[in-house]
Structure 1
Amino acid sequence: MNLTEEHQETPCVHSNFSCLQTSPTAADVLLYMSVAVVVSLTVCGNLLVIISICHFKQLQTPTNFLLLSLAIVDFLVGVIVMPLYFTMWIGPWRCFDILYCTTLKIASYCFTCISAYNVALIALDRYLALSNPFHYSMKMTDNITLRIIAILWLYSFIYNMVLLYFNGDIPDMKANITCGECVGKINKVWAIVDFIIAFVLPCSMIVIINLNIFAIAKKHANKIRSVRKCPKNDHGSMASERKAAKSLGILVAVFLLCLVPYYVSAFVDMFFRKKSDHLAISVTAPLLYLNSSINPIIYALFYPWFQRSVKLILTLRICGSESSMLNVLEQEL
């Protein structure tokens, strides 16, 4: 959330979480109820993904560790960012204390950056697995994957703290704040830098890698069709890899559909907008956060292991001894 100035400043009284005393309308109540449902689904859905991968030994693979990292980001978005952002989005006439606004800025900047690069790593992981499966299985161990994830999180945190600090967007914690100041403000130089680092670079990686994945999958499919007597195990292995690539392709496509409109509209808003026109930002920013709600739905629809894991979790079978060794990869539990 790096390029926005979404709300106009309005006069307010400086006291914590107090501003113009306006009674909520029926539309506001409906919006708050909708937000509560979305936040609950986001938190619970991603929590199920986290529990599944952390608990079941079969699911602890390099690819699933990357999915776990993405699920943790989405979970934190649901816990921290969504409640703060949608409260401000529904009631821009309120005033918020400085801690509230600083938390929202840091969390939204960092989590958006982590998500983008995490999805790029997921695409790269699938490309390596398809292009050179033997080398991938030998080199891409669990420990290496976890180190890469740790570096990604550390890099994103440091980069965004530097961005906020040098842009002057981390205010004095003792300062007062007006209604219009609880938004990310960034000068044009830093806007271009951030647009390249947080959007262009990871999205270019995602698109290029997925085009290569599509080409490799098509090549494998042609080989299977050209060989009449293909060994059953090899055929099943190739089919499994293509299915995994397809599922991750859907995850990536949905992510881009949520991310691209926001960054494009934010960039256009920064350099070409009229001062009073913020409609595009107001529409696309919530879509960016809703991606965290959509990802668990994708897992439920396209990942059989997640469906089986959820069944075991909801029936409390994970409370039994040796439950972590249960088979969640085959059809029958």
Structure 2
Amino acid sequence: MDIIEYQQNITVQYCFPDINSSCKKEVRSGPGNALLFIFLSCISVCTVLLNLLVIISISHFKQLHTPTNLLILSLAAADLLVGTFVIPVNIVQLRDSCWYLGKMACYAIPVISYFSMAASLYSMVLIAVDRYIAVSDPLHYSARVSFYKTVLLIIPAWSFCFFYTVTFLYFNDHFLPSQISNRCYGECILVIKKSMIIVDLILFFLAPCSAILVLYSVIFFVARRQARAVTIVRKGNVSRKRGAKVANSSENKAAKTLGVVIFVYLACYIPFYISSLSVENVTTSSIVWTVFGWLVYMNSSLNPVIYAIFYPWFRTSVKFVLTCRIFEFSSSMLNLFSGHV
């Protein structure tokens, strides 16, 4: 659909016809827009359902109660917030440009959006640290990293993300109640200054992402070195060597899988930050936010898809959940790894 045809499919109405100060409503009609909204709605539903399956699986099955899976649950919880609150609200606003949820929700949704994104990134930092310890020091991993220690890390991590989000939006002048864009009734546009985008880029994107990339570089270097060591060893106890191969293969596979998660995250977020630096201010109604912001939201639906592709235990647990076998007695003790390395 070209620009002229797109503009012809926009009809001007009013968000609240009975209120004189109502904003104009730009309804995007036509088959192209209808297909777009159906696609985005499917993304929202899939994001919620897939991340719920991750959360239910890890929470229900005792076999999945490991530090690494607990961090994956933290990541899924953050993605669930995006699919439950952020994506549906943006779909409605994209459809007719109106805000129907009131002034309080206009302040709350940006907080939820930034908080969930921060929690996702912080969860990935913890996952990278967890994998680094597991691969570089496997003999002492269980002593250094336990389930309860991981819980005690996740709680302050989420608290820090919430504090960061509130601080970031508070110091952004346009988020203050007296300066948020509400020129007419039914408008909710958040304007983020370029200076705050730069601060956010440095403190909560470049720094943690650099740490993640450095950790994963070390992980793959160590994993390759261990693989060579296992190949070279030809003497000694055969069963012990076979066990070392299995353990090494399992850890390396987990590191590679979570490495794919990191790569997808960067691929979704980098275009948004690069494009946002090219404008003076970013608003929730700008083309930068509309196009690249949705790419950021879609990252929340891609993570569980990656688990489904690479993790046999996730596919098995999904079958148990969808067939309602989790309601059977002692279903939490089912073996999800039979036949898999």
Query: What's the TM-score, normalizing by structure 1?
Result: 0.87
Out of 250, 254, 259, which is 1:244 matched to? 254
Counterpart residue number, 1:54 = 59
State how 1:124-135 maps to structure 2 within 5 Å. 124-135=129-140
Correspondence 1:225 to 2:231:
yes
Counterpart residue number, 2:274 = 264
Which 5+ residue runs of structure 1 have no aligned equivalent? 1-9
| Local SS of the residue matching 1:186 | strand
| Residues 18 and 158 (structure 1), Cα distance of their counterparts in 2 relative to 1, 3 Å cut | same
| Local SS of the residue matching 1:290 | helix
| Residues 12 and 99 (structure 1), Cα distance of their counterparts in 2 relative to 1, 3 Å cut | farther
In structure 2, give the amino acid aligned to 1:314: L
Out of 78, 86, 90, which is 2:83 matched to? 78
Out of 317, 322, 325, which is 2:325 matched to? 317
Correspondence 1:303 to 2:322:
no
CA shift at 1:184, angstroms? 3.1
Out of 3, 23, 26, which is 1:19 matched to? 23
| Residues 233 and 175 (structure 1), Cα distance of their counterparts in 2 relative to 1, 3 Å cut | closer
Out of 103, 112, 137, which is 2:108 matched to? 103
Alpha-carbon distance in structure 1 between the residues aligned to 2:164 and 2:191: 16
Out of 157, 161, 164, which is 2:169 matched to? 164
Alpha-carbon distance in structure 2 between the residues aligned to 1:47 and 1:16: 43
CA shift at 1:179, angstroms? 7.9
CA shift at 1:18, angstroms? 5.7
Counterpart residue number, 1:254 = 264
CA shift at 1:103, angstroms? 2.2
CA shift at 1:21, angstroms? 4.5
Q: What is the alpha-carbon root mean square deviation over aligned residues?
A: 2.9
1:43-64 superposed Cα distances (whole Å, 9 cap, x missing partner): 0000000000000001010000
Deviation larger for 296-305 or 229-238: 229-238
CA shift at 1:83, angstroms? 0.6
Alpha-carbon distance in structure 2 between the residues aligned to 1:49 and 1:159: 26
| Local SS of the residue matching 2:24 | coil
Counterpart residue number, 2:298 = 290
Aligned residues: 319
| Residues 248 and 297 (structure 1), Cα distance of their counterparts in 2 relative to 1, 3 Å cut | same
Correspondence 1:200 to 2:200:
no
Alpha-carbon distance in structure 1 between the residues aligned to 2:251 and 2:321: 27
CA shift at 1:178, angstroms? 3.9
Which 5+ residue runs of structure 2 have no aligned equivalent? 1-11
CA shift at 1:175, angstroms? 9.4
In structure 1, give the amino acid aligned to 2:319: K
Q: Report if the CA contact (8 A) 2:135-2:251 is conserved.
A: yes
| Local SS of the residue matching 2:339 | coil
Counterpart residue number, 2:150 = 145
More relative contact order in 1 or in 2 (CA 8 Å, sep 6+)? 1
Larger Rg computed on CA atoms:
2
Alpha-carbon distance in structure 2 between the residues aligned to 1:200 and 1:175: 29
Q: Report if the CA contact (8 A) 1:74-1:292 is conserved.
A: yes
Alpha-carbon distance in structure 2 between the residues aligned to 1:11 and 1:314: 44
CA shift at 1:24, angstroms? 4.5
Alpha-carbon distance in structure 2 between the residues aligned to 1:191 and 1:289: 18
Counterpart residue number, 1:113 = 118
Q: Report if the CA contact (8 A) 2:61-2:334 is conserved.
A: yes
Correspondence 1:33 to 2:38:
yes
Q: What percent identity do the matched residue pairs reach?
A: 39
| Local SS of the residue matching 1:268 | coil
Alpha-carbon distance in structure 2 between the residues aligned to 1:62 and 1:102: 34
Counterpart residue number, 1:234 = 244
In structure 1, give the amino acid aligned to 2:124: V
